[in-house]
Structure 1
């Protein structure tokens, strides 16, 4: 499997947002089959200490999400540098990495790596955008039944993989 879906949960919606959860799942775009997964919750304080930001609108948005989504962010948080180092051990430059959109998930993640003075673990030339793919057949995502906990980074990865696979399959049929 040479595709990797990445999803973040953040405390802002800007380039240098604090990341509170990072997930990734490898997959085959042609079959929708998934492989190994990565999931980690990140200490908000460590993100702030690194210079990543929080905004009030996002905090208010999180307060309106389900208890399940909010509580899932509190289990076993680690320092942002440890999370990035761990993710670097999981990801590699062979993957085509996907984000929703590439400049949100992948851009924010790259900015965190830069702030931590760590090299990114993927090849920037292999970045792919979920939103661009979805735009070719928007009705697929619009009619997709979400499974799991919305705004849980791991659940979001699995759902994004499935509607991307369906879209890819229809485009290529």
Structure 2
């Protein structure tokens, strides 16, 4: 089985490239919707190179208790340094992968952290990032059901993978 794509989802305390990360999910997949390796971590937010947003913190406070409990549990948090090393390790054999995310959100946050922590190379190619929002513009009729718990990184990755695969299939069918 071949996996040419990786979905990224971050849960953060902000909405800009400087948003503090509290959870990360990476899931490799193919356009048939088959799932490969996964990476998940809860991250200890560090405010040295990031800035929280009060409105985002308020938004988190309005989310369901079980979501907050999962994303903000105290145990098993890793540092940004460990997260960045883990991301590099995940991409060692996936350098040619297409990276899917909300391209103006997740990728810039990760790229900012890599630069801020002195990493000269990104774990993916400069032109690898693909945008889910562009697909939703091109295939607005496609809907998908949430897999698992919304606003948790791995479950959001799995939902977004279903969505991307369905939208690409719809776009391809409409063009034939």
Structures share fold, TM-score greater than 0.5: yes
Q: Whole-Å Cα distance in 2 between the matches of residues 28 and 86 of structure 1? A: 22
Q: Secondary structure at the match of 1:41?
A: strand
Structure 2 equivalent of residue 97 of structure 1:
99
Deviation at 1:8, TM superposition (A): 0.3
Structure 2 equivalent of residue 109 of structure 1:
110
The superposition leaves residues 69-124 of structure 1 with CA deviations (integer Å, 9 ceiling, x where unpaired) of 21112241111111111111002321110112x12000111001111112321112
Deviation at 1:139, TM superposition (A): 2.1
Structure 2 equivalent of residue 23 of structure 1:
25
The superposition leaves residues 53-75 of structure 1 with CA deviations (integer Å, 9 ceiling, x where unpaired) of 10110000000111222111224
Structure 1 equivalent of residue 139 of structure 2:
137
Q: Whole-Å Cα distance in 2 between the matches of residues 140 and 63 of structure 1? A: 30
Structure 2 equivalent of residue 39 of structure 1:
40
Runs of 4+ in structure 1 deviating by more than 2 angstroms, as ranges, are none
The superposition leaves residues 22-80 of structure 1 with CA deviations (integer Å, 9 ceiling, x where unpaired) of 11100112x11111101011102xx21x3211011000000011122211122411111
Q: Secondary structure at the match of 1:109?
A: helix
Q: Whole-Å Cα distance in 1 between the matches of residues 171 and 115 of structure 2? A: 36
Deviation at 1:133, TM superposition (A): 1.1
Q: Secondary structure at the match of 2:83?
A: helix
- Give the TM-score taking structure 1 as reference length: 0.92
Structure 1, gaps ≥5 residues long: none
Q: Secondary structure at the match of 2:36?
A: strand
The number of residue pairs the alignment matches comes to 166
Structure 2 equivalent of residue 169 of structure 1:
169
Deviation at 1:165, TM superposition (A): 0.4
Q: Whole-Å Cα distance in 2 between the matches of residues 76 and 66 of structure 1? A: 21
Structure having the higher helix fraction is 1
Question: RMSD across aligned C-alpha pairs, in angstroms?
Answer: 1.1
- Superposed, 1:2-21 pairs within 5 Å as 2-21=4-23
Q: Secondary structure at the match of 2:24?
A: strand
Q: Whole-Å Cα distance in 2 between the matches of residues 18 and 72 of structure 1? A: 17
Q: Whole-Å Cα distance in 2 between the matches of residues 148 and 86 of structure 1? A: 24
Structure 2, gaps ≥5 residues long: none
Structure 2 equivalent of residue 149 of structure 1:
149
Structure 1 equivalent of residue 158 of structure 2:
158
- Give the TM-score taking structure 2 as reference length: 0.90
Out of 32, 48, 53, the position equivalent to 2:51 is 53
